[in-house]
Amino acid sequence: MQTFATIKKEVISTRKALRVFDLIRNEMTLVEDEFKRQAASNIQAVDYLGEYLRSSGGKRMRPALLVLANYACGGNAASENVIRMATVMEMLHTATLVHDDIIDNAAKRRGRESVNARFGNHTAVLMGDWLYMSAFETALKERSLEILDVLTKLTRKMTEGELIQLTVIGNTEITEDAYFDILRRKTAYLFSGCCEIGAILANADAEMQAAFRDFGMNLGVAFQLADDLLDFTADESALGKPSGADLLEGKLTLPLIVLCRRRPELKQFLKEIIADGSYRNGSRGEVMRRLNENGILEEIRSVALGFADTARKNLEVLPQTEYSLALEEIPNLVIDRSS
């Protein structure tokens, strides 16, 4: 049961989020329209799947970051090329989720059946590939080697992250350094790329581009740490997927890595949960009890807040505008979100 303090915190966080995203409401509508156009195809199967993925929604955090970064650097984010590139980043993110769900054998995504669960793995692999190629085809219209360089690097990093993660599935000996390496590759590089490309499209100087690149990286780390906490604390209806799924998939996120370091005798207990592929006989409650009695969830939240604070400091080179102030709000929003 939620406490009054928790409910109040979520209400405040929601109000801040609305204030931030109200600034770019029109631009995000243009992104949604462009995504719909880009996901359309004269091939019926592709057209249907593209619309299925687009209509499943999502936070659209990545295109929003590109738009806000562009405005904060003095650009015109309502212009055709900025909207196009913001859409490219969402398409890349969506393609990554499709492939992730195949690897994880996930049944749900954003509260509905995943593509692999509904249409099969073969279809999902091909649809993910189609989204990747469509995103790069759209990006080529920019005729910018600088932007293509950012996109190819971050796409390679994301793929490497998935491959590295596969090598440590079920490994209770994974180190914190290895965890953060995977996190940055799988999540933070895309955040970083969105912010950097927003600055590039505004013709920002090298210092400003670097500031946004670092801001996105630190924000991405904070975002994923918050996501890892939500896997333990959020209910399934808010997450849009089963809670506690990471451990069942053999993924040890930072809370469990810290728990294993402090209580090595629990490694075998976690291995049994992974081997079983389900929580039985109160095992999930036992995991939560161990995390709480060791103060680990609050500790990880503090780590996330540290990255959020560093992200805000990356923006100190910016002149104060409504867009730079909105960007400063985002690090805490990603931590305080409920899904």
Three state DSSP letters for the chain: CCCHHHHHHHHHHHHHHHHHHHCCHHHHHHHHHHHHHHHCCCCHHHHHHHHHHHCCCCCCHHHHHHHHHHHHCCCCCCCHHHHHHHHHHHHHHHHHHHHHHHHHCCCEECCEECHHHHHCHHHHHHHHHHHHHHHHHHHHCCCCHHHHHHHHHHHHHHHHHHHHHHHCCCCCCCCHHHHHHHHHHHHHHHHHHHHHHHHHHCCCCHHHHHHHHHHHHHHHHHHHHHHHHHHHHCCHHHHCCCCCHHHHCCCCCHHHHHHHHHCHHHHHHHHHHHHHCCCCCCHHHHHHHHHHHCCHHHHHHHHHHHHHHHHHHHHHHCCCCHHHHHHHHHHHHHHHCCC
pLDDT at position 15 is 60
Q: What is the pLDDT of residue 89?
A: 97
What b/e readout covers 201-222, taking b as 16+ CB neighbours within 10 angstroms?
bbebeeebbebbbbbbbbbbbb
User: What confidence score (pLDDT) does residue 293 get?
Assistant: 94
Instruction: Return the pLDDT at 133.
Output: 95
Beta pairing partners, 109:
112
Sign of CA dihedral 19, 230, 69, 29: negative
Question: Can you give the pLDDT at residue 38?
Answer: 93
CB 253 within 8 A of CB 229: no
CA angle 272, 187, 114 (to 5 degrees): 65
Residues with Cβ within 8 Å of 55's Cβ and at least 6 positions away in sequence, in order, are: none
- Reading the block at residue 336, the tokens are 């305080």
> What local confidence, expressed as pLDDT, does residue 8 receive?
41
Phi, psi of 280 (to 5 degrees): -130, 155
CA pair distance 64, 18, nearest whole angstrom:
13
Residue segments in the chain with a per-residue pLDDT below the cut of 50:
1-9, 11-12
Instruction: State the Rg of the chain over Cα.
Output: 20
Single pTM value for the model: 0.92
Alpha-carbon distance of 167 to 252, in angstroms, equals: 12
**Which amino acid, one-letter code, is at 120?**
G
Taking CA atoms, 326 is separated from 16, 78, 112, 194, in Å, by 9, 17, 31, 16
Q: Which superfamily does 11-336 belong to?
A: Farnesyl Diphosphate Synthase (1.10.600.10)
The span from the CA of 17 to the CA of 191, in Å, is 18
